[in-house]
Amino acid sequence: MVENNRMLTFVSHLVLVLGLLTVALPLWIAFVASTHGQADLIAGRIPILPGAHFMENWGTAVTSGLKRAGGVPVGLMLFNSLVMAIGIAVGKIAISIISAYAIVYFRFPFRMAIFWMIFLTLMLPVEVRILPTFEVAANLDLLDSYTGLTVPLIASATATFLFRQFFLTVPDELTEAARMDGAGPLKFFKDILLPLSWTNIAALFVILFIYGWNQYLWPLLITTDENYYTIVMGIQRMVTVSDEEPRWGIVMATAMLAMIPPVLVVIVMQRLFVKGLVEQEK
């Protein structure tokens, strides 16, 4: 920076640390609560340090869940969330990369019409077409199934744009050289374009995994069978119990379990994550 003003630098660090603590506070309190028994919590003492019931709460959550909330073990919900997140991420990438390839590398009737139709999905989030989309899924017999949780969400305008954008920067000489060597369109895609796209695919995967993991409304609509609940939507049943205080220790253990996988993905793959985030908005 321009001035070498120690006071200003100190203030900057102070603001940042206070900001960090504010942002982290809910997480800390959740963790602390997940280590205390129900009796400690509802006695009205506000614990700010971890207690001794960590194994008990987390264990109960993972293996048996809460009776009042249908008793679905969080372990099963975590598995469902994982299937949904990976299914959506892989599905979106797979169908987007091949449609982008077709749109960039082929000339065919209705090419632009198809391009604009894919673009249109950007303007139609689930939230604005809840009932009719549910009806379609019900008519196709997709309720309470992994197909129903993933397939209806895998059309992706942003992923298609991203790949289209990237393919347009791939030099034509590569295509010419491949053709000269006798590679057909599928071979060119598999042996040249796909390896070149690897970082883009990985960056997109990070973003889409989080997108899929954090879905709420769609699993809420499509699942009535508890065996297909995902953790992000399943937690709602634990919180909104009507006539008594929720079992906060177990609820908070569940909340922690629900955020650990996506948070880990973001922290471990921070570089790819930021790349994906920024490129998605181009």
* Interaction residues for other proteins, span 111-170 (CB under 8 A): 111, 114, 117-118, 120-125, 127-137, 140, 151-156, 160, 167-168
Please identify which residue in 86, 220, 226, 241 interacts with other proteins, judged by CB under 8 A: 220
Contact between 231 and 254 (Cβ < 8 Å)? yes
Q: Does 282 bind other proteins (CB under 8 A)?
A: yes
Q: Does 181 bind other proteins (CB under 8 A)?
A: no
Nearer to other proteins, 76 or 231 (CB): 231
Nearer to other proteins, 94 or 194 (CB): 94
Tell me how far apart the alpha carbons of residues 2 and 120 are, in angstroms, rounded to a whole number.
Answer: 47
Q: Does 265 bind other proteins (CB under 8 A)?
A: yes
Stretch that binds other proteins, among 50-58, 60-68, 72-80, 214-222 (CB under 8 A): 214-222
Contact between 133 and 148 (Cβ < 8 Å)? no
Please identify which residue in 251, 253, 272, 279 interacts with other proteins, judged by CB under 8 A: 251
Please compute, for residue 169, the number of CA atoms within 13 A of its CA located in the half-sphere on the CB side: 8
Site for other proteins in 68-107 (CB under 8 A): 94-96, 98-99, 101-107
Token duo for residue 190: 């598999």
Reduced to 3 states (helix: H, G, I; strand: E, B; else coil), residue 30 is helix
Q: Does 180 bind other proteins (CB under 8 A)?
A: no
Q: Does 7 bind other proteins (CB under 8 A)?
A: no
Tell me how far apart the alpha carbons of residues 213 and 211 are, in angstroms, rounded to a whole number.
Answer: 6
| C-alpha dihedral (212, 215, 218, 223), degrees to nearest 10 | 90
Compute the least distance from the CB of residue 97 to other proteins, in Å. Answer: 9
Compute the least distance from the CB of residue 17 to other proteins, in Å. Answer: 9
Token duo for residue 37: 């028994």
Tell me how far apart the alpha carbons of residues 159 and 44 are, in angstroms, rounded to a whole number.
Answer: 49
CA terminus-to-terminus distance, the chain: 29
Number of shown-chain residues binding other proteins (CB under 8 A): 108
Please identify which residue in 39, 48, 49, 55 interacts with other proteins, judged by CB under 8 A: 48
Q: Does 196 bind other proteins (CB under 8 A)?
A: no
Token duo for residue 199: 């970082």
- CA dihedral for 248, 249, 252, 257, sign (positive or negative): negative
Q: Does 194 bind other proteins (CB under 8 A)?
A: no
Nearer to other proteins, 101 or 228 (CB): 101
Nearer to other proteins, 9 or 63 (CB): 9
Tell me how far apart the alpha carbons of residues 147 and 28 are, in angstroms, rounded to a whole number.
Answer: 36
